Amino acid sequence: MSKGGINLKTFWPAIAIAVILFFLPPIIPRFYTYILAVIFVTSLLAMSLNLCVGHGGIFQFHHAVFYGVGAYTVALFLTKTSLPRGVGFIAGPIIAAIFGLLIGWFCIRLTKLYFGMLQISLGSLVWAIVFRWYGFTGGDDGIHGIPIPEFIDSTNSRYYFILIFFIISLFVLYLIFKSPFGTTLQAIRDNPERCEAIGINVKRHQLVAIVIATFFAGVAGVLFVVLEGSVFPDLLFWVLSLEVFIMCLLGGWFTFAGPVLGAAITVSLRTFVGVYTEYWTLILGVILILLIFFLPEGVMGFILDKINPEKKEIIEKDDE
């Protein structure tokens, strides 16, 4: 299809991978089913961040706070109210998006590093409230034993539930990425001054991108509760935001699927290398240093360049 449209050829590999993932649980150990579910949740969080950072050039440095807000919202609905459980599942992403709107409204007035620093400050304030409010959020103990609906009360059923919503979310994000809004967002990333000169409301587009990204971060938070059955303040801590940022960088933050690959690599290192040493982050650091020097566009960016080198040449000529 035309530039900016949806290329149907890109869906066939994705469909093949999705089919394989659907057939895996009966033939692999339960532990690996759980790890795959963790990768799905983490990948969705990374993808939501990349909508701002990679595609919008927005310095979203404390994205994890919205992930935690979504998780805590559904946890509080399920443990402290008698409302139908579906209400909590719906409320999680919505409340996360509302927080994104409020924090984004303040931060969007600033640019680049100042935007990121203000967001870190406001996000840390939210984390401090959750960390200290023992009567409502459980404080630093968190909330455990969250009642999960019976139809997703087994490892395989949770896996399928998370996989289905992961695929749906990625498809919606892909549509946004390929929409005129997504194209405009990438233009703002590359040259916001020129976009303003031709009449594009840069701040409004960035704020909408933040709300969309925080909504999907909230979806990831809800899926985390489904998977773990508990929440804790570390979900809102800035360290997790940094880790997710690294996933985008590792996979390729100017690509669509790069954050998924980055999340898979990071979770795998943490799980399997962490068995042998607690210093698995040192290995991740070495990988990042090598990446910066030899693969600055990330693993997925390198792969795409090898598959379609002509497209890279066209982009370089346009930059000149």
pLDDT of residue 313: 44
In this predicted structure, what is the pLDDT of residue 225? 96
For the chain, which residues make up each domain, given as ranges? 8-237
Quick one: pLDDT at residue 109? 84
pTM above 0.85, yes or no: yes
User: Which residues fall within 8 angstroms of residue 183, CB to CB, at 6 or more apart?
Assistant: 4
pLDDT at 308: 67
Q: How far apart are CA 31 and CA 49, in angstroms?
A: 27
Low-confidence ranges of the chain (pLDDT < 70): 1-10, 308-320
Q: In 3-state terms, the chain is what percent helix, strand and coil (to 5)?
A: 80, 0, 20
Query: 260-291 burial, b for 16+ CB within 10 Å, e for fewer?
Result: bbbbbbbbebbbebeeeeeebbeebeebeeeb
pLDDT at 30: 92
